[in-house]
Structure 1
Amino acid sequence: MSDYTFITTEEHFLLQDALKRNKQQLTKFTLIGFGLLLIAAVIPQIYLYTHNNLGDADDSLLSFKNLWFWVWLLCFVIALIFALIKVTDIRYWAIKKDLTALQKATLEAPMEAVYLENNDTQTNIMILLENKKKRLFYWMRGALEGYRAGQQVEITYARYSRVIISINKK
């Protein structure tokens, strides 16, 4: 890896576009979480109040009047949102950090693996570094055609998020 240099205006716009796509994914996951919260809050109440008398239903742990029910439910939804973020490699906060630091680096190394993610809107590339460590880099502009594992590439990437700004075969 080389020293870090400043990104250009064009590269800044590329990072802003990647941030916008990540924000859309984050919004989608939050809406899914709140939809599940609504379902998980309503269905137990319907079952509880139709199958029990009012006093027993109010004393139940699944009652909406019980504070622990809401604590458990919110913790579950927050954990679900963060699990979705982790599984799909959302780079939102790292990209925001890159947009303030404005640093990039260049790397020349062989690719270990290339695979698509997030409904083919992102290509992830595993790179084998000189010290035998593997690092994951992210091409945020869809499917990256013509790149296969084992090929030597030169990558220019944003420092913190490892979002690929440009990639060339060697």
Structure 2
Amino acid sequence: MQDYSFMTIEEIFLLQDALKKNKRQILKFILIGLTLVLIAAYVPQFFLKRRYSEEEIDATMFSYRNTWFWVWLLSFVLVLVFALIKVTDVRYFTIKKDLTLLQKGQIKVPLEHVYQGNNDMQTSFIVKQEGVRKRKRLFYWMRGRLDDFKSGQEVEIIYGRYSRIILNISKA
């Protein structure tokens, strides 16, 4: 059983900082998606205009006037943006929920795996929780690289209840 308590002001600021970083990541992915839309919309037209007449271009799958072209292109970009968000562990909505409910959890567990992510801007910890159901959980340190922790070490983690963003971590 885990204890949940209310966050302090410093912990709220840490979560707000993590939320800003996540918002920047999402905006970056949306800009990548919009850039891909522009490239995919204009490059085929450029090559088609060199070889075909306007009527032939309008009949192709790569025409601006073809509805299926836009459906395919926008669905591809939407899937790409969500895939990038999933791969990079963006926790935007769960951090917002933590900032609304202001609950934090505290556990004392051994580390199973430690790895760096997002260009060494984030350290992720996998722990195996004991209890009724043994399960592995992933926790995120959003303030850079942590090299002091190794697999097998017993740690005490204070984290946002829903986002599992680590507010404080120390060796037990």
Q: Please state which band the TM-score falls in when normalised by the shorter chain.
A: over 0.9
**Secondary structure of 2:3's partner?**
coil
Distance (whole Å) between structure 2 residues aligned to residue 143 and residue 76 of structure 1 = 33
**Secondary structure of 1:166's partner?**
strand
Choose from 131, 142, 145 the match for 1:143. 145
Distance (whole Å) between structure 2 residues aligned to residue 166 and residue 76 of structure 1 = 39
% identity of equivalent residues: 57
RMSD of Structure 2 on Structure 1 (CA): 0.9
TM score, norm. by length of structure 2? 0.96
Q: Structure 1: which 4+ aligned runs deviate by more than 2 Å?
A: none
- Residue of structure 2 equivalent to 1:157: 159
Distance (whole Å) between structure 1 residues aligned to residue 125 and residue 59 of structure 2 = 53
TM score, norm. by length of structure 1? 0.97
> Where do 5+ consecutive residues of structure 2 fail to align?
none
Shift of 1:116: 0.6
User: How far does the alpha carbon of each residue in 1:57-77 deviate from its partner, in whole angstroms, 9 at most, with x for none?
Assistant: 111111011111111101010
Distance (whole Å) between structure 2 residues aligned to residue 136 and residue 143 of structure 1 = 16
User: How far does the alpha carbon of each residue in 1:73-105 deviate from its partner, in whole angstroms, 9 at most, with x for none?
Assistant: 010101000000000000111101110010001
Aligned: 1:75 with 2:86: no
User: How far does the alpha carbon of each residue in 1:104-127 deviate from its partner, in whole angstroms, 9 at most, with x for none?
Assistant: 010011101001101111000000
> Where do 5+ consecutive residues of structure 1 fail to align?
none
Shift of 1:2: 1.7
Distance (whole Å) between structure 1 residues aligned to residue 152 and residue 33 of structure 2 = 39
Matches within 5 A, 1:25-44: 25-44=25-44
Shift of 1:3: 2.2
Distance (whole Å) between structure 1 residues aligned to residue 51 and residue 161 of structure 2 = 58
How many residues matched? 170
**Secondary structure of 1:32's partner?**
helix
Aligned partner letter, 1:66: N
Shift of 1:132: 2.7
Distance (whole Å) between structure 2 residues aligned to residue 51 and residue 123 of structure 1 = 52
Aligned partner letter, 1:17: D
